Amino acid sequence: MIPSVRRPAGGRILPLLLILPIVACGGDAGDAVLDGLAAALAPDERLLQMQFLDPESPDVVAAVVQEPGGGQELRVYEREGDRPFSARHRSRQGDRLTNLELEDVTGDGRKEILATWAGGRLEILEVVERRPDGSYATIFENGGRGIERREAPDGGREIRVTSRTYEEEEGQPPAYEMTIYRFDGDSFVPVPR
């Protein structure tokens, strides 16, 4: 267990015991990152989870932040040199973020941020990539009863979303169908059947 941080209205940092998966940078470097992220949070926000996007550098971090009203937000924070962390990307696709992973799903050799959200009865997957100009873009966002990531027959990656069709007759069990998405070089598009 690693203490997470929140920034109360008074500006002091209070430690809380929550799991923070830190893949790199321990000790003093990890403490400096936590202090830097705490300073970037608004009053009464709380850092729930974080991942370093570059294992060689603690200066780019994906974070899950709990806001005062109870909502959660995915943020990508960056800093350069001695400058403070600043949020470069923010998104909220569901009620709460249930999983935060890094995986190369586009085949470009760089890992994208995969955020899995819970939204009512839906599972929502958001894929965020860093563009060549340094900006961040959501290249996939979809929800369904179930979402799977698999290797495609050609060796690429695909995302399978199973959703209810609502095409069943009265008295019949719910009907579902699967849509398969593959990366086309810019975003994930449905594969024609």
Question: What pLDDT is stored for residue 14 in this prediction?
Answer: 31
Question: What pLDDT is stored for residue 11 in this prediction?
Answer: 38
Question: What pLDDT is stored for residue 157 in this prediction?
Answer: 87
Question: What pLDDT is stored for residue 35 in this prediction?
Answer: 87
∠ CA(135), CA(71), CA(127), 5° rounding? 35
pLDDT tier, 186 (very low <50, low <70, confident <90, very high otherwise): confident
pLDDT one-digit tens code per residue, 114-125? 999 998 888 999
In angstroms, the CA 30 to CA 46 distance is 17
Cβ–Cβ < 8 Å for 128, 136 = yes
Region 95-105 average pLDDT? 91
In angstroms, the CA 17 to CA 158 distance is 36
pLDDT tier, 8 (very low <50, low <70, confident <90, very high otherwise): very low
Question: What pLDDT is stored for residue 22 in this prediction?
Answer: 38
Where do the domains of the chain lie? 1-92, 94-193
